[in-house]
Amino acid sequence: MRSPSAGPSGLPGRGEVPDEGGSLQGSAWVGEEAPPGMCYEVWLWLDDAVDAEVLEDWKARKAALSTEMRDAGIRGSRKKLGDLENELAQCFESCVAGVLRRSVGCCALRTRAGDMARGFEAVPGAVVYGWDVEPNFVRIWLELSGECGVDSLIDGWKEALPDVAWSPVCHVRGLSGRDCAAALRRLSAAMMEAGVANGSGTVSAAEAGPEFRHVTVLLEESVDALLPAEGKVIVDATLGGGGHSELLLERGATVWGIDQDPSARRAACERLARFGSRFRVLAGNFRNAGAMLREQGVEAVDGVLADIGISSHQVDTPERGFSFREDGPLDMRMNPESARSAAVLVNEASEAQIADWLWKYGEERASRSIARAIVKARESAPIETTRQLASIIEGVLPRHGKQHPATRSFQALRIAVNDELGALECLLESGVSLLKAGGRMAVISFHSLEDRAIKQFFDKVSRPEVDRPEWPEPRPNPEYCARLVNRKPILPSEAELARNPRARSAKLRVIEKVSPR
């Protein structure tokens, strides 16, 4: 194993092998160069970490796919072989990865990370570029450097911890040097974020990346609506830069912040570190807010806040691909780890599907013409940048007035990429179910599609009775559980609009839980 203090080709390392009795979650190269050759990602887990039935299904599927891959290799069908390799990886992730973190009776591997690292050092035949040690599974990224194969290496590593009950089944997949480097950078970023969130480390300006800038909208109005006080627990489902959370914490509340954007979480962790354990951050999409909090043992809360939409930082960072003001990659993913970007949508979706997104999410009247132009343009070359797409749209809709003709289309694609309306629907349902009696939910929206969904949901849960023309009299509403705190949305003040023109379309709606649902 190469020493973590000096990576391949001069790459800087992250982490060191701990002294006896120490622990280390992982070590990963964080440089720009990729490993030069073919790499492997190896998963080892404890014997009880995976449900036996799931494990058997995985073994059977792996055996069948391995046979198909062997036949494809014999025939020299590289495309078929690549497709099967991807299918094998997806099968593993869907069948096994979701249960790897469940509790097991064996010792936690994380406390044995030092022993594992020394095992990598002792067994020759590989360059180990990085590893990730969790309580009941280990991932290792490596390149072979000798005659022995991966199976021999795995046997040697398991022998380094002979008192651990390892599962007889492991998972190995081949990676290009570039993919290996990308996986290790993701691990390094996760380690950095965990260090900030837990107060166990610091992040330099170089590590943290561009400064996270976001102007909080309707700050006082939304915080006042939630009635924060000492002892109350409030969920900030759209943490962002932490502006709302900061004021909630200053007024004595305990805050759980949720965000899928790692740069937002890092910025908020730095900003709110002074509040100690009263501030906790969770990584994920707010559509899963209820499940995420219950995993942390939080069954009910006093308030839920959501500031729906895109942040100023995302708009102002060309590399995120949300805006056409500056050229950048056509991305638009709020979670950079998500699988499909805007480029994937515009280059792979059908003309009918693109037109449907533009009409449904952007209310774009020229949706069919724009979709037709996009499909025609991509036949010549892939559409990869924001300026490319904006120019195509401008060719269909010449500019009139202040609004750029691509504005509605970019909004529509962003909503489609992130499934924003589907996520909002899940948040509203789970948020209401999380609230205690007397708890409040405050939601800020920025365009009519969001506001309409919020208004309709709040109306549905705040009507004690429902009536229909064919009924002789109104009936009790089974969805009833809340009251409207404000019948009309709260809008930004003139003073706020003067400070922040981007707040002009913001609307705040609030409900209060009155009974169980």
Within-domain flag for 214 = no
Residue 509 — φ and ψ, nearest 5°? Answer: -125, 145
Within-domain flag for 275 = yes
Point out the annotated binding site for S-adenosyl-L-methionine. 242-244, 259, 286, 307, 314
Within-domain flag for 318 = no
Nearest CA among 221, 181, 211 for reference residue 33: 181
304 and 248 both lie in a single domain: yes
Report d(CA 12, CA 395) in Å as an integer: 47
The answer for 376, left when phi > 0, alpha when psi is -120 to 50, beta otherwise, is alpha
* pLDDT tens profile 227-273: 999 999 999 999 988 999 999 999 999 999 999 888 888 888 888 88
* Strand pairing category for 254-259 and 279-283: parallel
355 and 303 both lie in a single domain: no
For residue 308, the number of C-alpha atoms closer than 13 Å in the C-beta half-sphere is 34
Residues sharing a CB contact under 8 Å with residue 477, sequence separation 6 or more, in sequence order = 460, 463, 464, 465, 466
Using alpha carbons only, what angle is made at residue 407 by residues 402 and 408, rounded to the nearest 5 degrees?
A: 120
381, 410, 439: which is the final residue of a domain? 410
- Looking at residue 212, what is its pLDDT? 52
How long a stretch of residues is the chain? 517
Long-range contacts of 189-192 (CB under 8 A, 24+ apart): 189/262, 191/14, 191/15, 191/25, 191/26, 191/28, 192/266
406 and 445 both lie in a single domain: no
- Looking at residue 45, what is its pLDDT? 81
410, 435, 466: which is the final residue of a domain? 410
Using alpha carbons only, what angle is made at residue 27 by residues 22 and 28, rounded to the nearest 5 degrees?
A: 170
Within-domain flag for 244 = yes
Give the domain CATH number at 501.
Answer: 3.40.50.150
Q: 263, 242 in Cβ contact below 8 A?
A: no
What are the counts of helices (DSSP H) followed by strands (DSSP E) for the chain?
19, 14
Within-domain flag for 118 = yes
24 and 150 both lie in a single domain: yes
410, 433, 454: which is the final residue of a domain? 410
176 and 228 both lie in a single domain: no
Give the domain CATH number at 392.
Answer: 1.10.150.170
120 and 161 both lie in a single domain: yes
Helices marked H in 296-440: 312-316, 342-348, 351-362, 367-380, 386-396, 407-418, 420-434
399 and 254 both lie in a single domain: no
Structural domain including 279 reads: 219-312+421-513
Within-domain flag for 142 = yes
Residue 12 — φ and ψ, nearest 5°? Answer: -70, 150
- Looking at residue 60, what is its pLDDT? 80
- Looking at residue 515, what is its pLDDT? 82
* pLDDT tens profile 79-108: 676 677 667 766 766 666 555 555 444 445
Report d(CA 101, CA 32) in Å as an integer: 30
- Looking at residue 153, what is its pLDDT? 85
Max CA pair span of the chain = 84
Give the domain CATH number at 183.
Answer: 3.30.70
Residue numbers of the chain with a pLDDT score lower than 70: 1-34, 50, 76, 78-79, 81-82, 85-86, 89-90, 92-114, 135, 147, 186-214, 517
Q: 70, 165 in Cβ contact below 8 A?
A: no
If one counts the domains in the chain, the total is 3
- Looking at residue 78, what is its pLDDT? 66
Within-domain flag for 206 = no
Within-domain flag for 19 = yes
Report d(CA 228, CA 250) in Å as an integer: 9
426 and 400 both lie in a single domain: no
269 and 156 both lie in a single domain: no
Burial class (CB in 10 A: 0-12, 13-18, 19+), 455: middle
Over its C-alpha atoms, the chain yields an Rg (Å, rounded) of: 26
Point out the annotated binding site. 242-244, 259, 286, 307, 314
Neighbours of 492 (CB within 10 A): 23
107 and 30 both lie in a single domain: yes
403 and 378 both lie in a single domain: yes
Report d(CA 203, CA 206) in Å as an integer: 8
- Looking at residue 503, what is its pLDDT? 86
402 and 441 both lie in a single domain: no
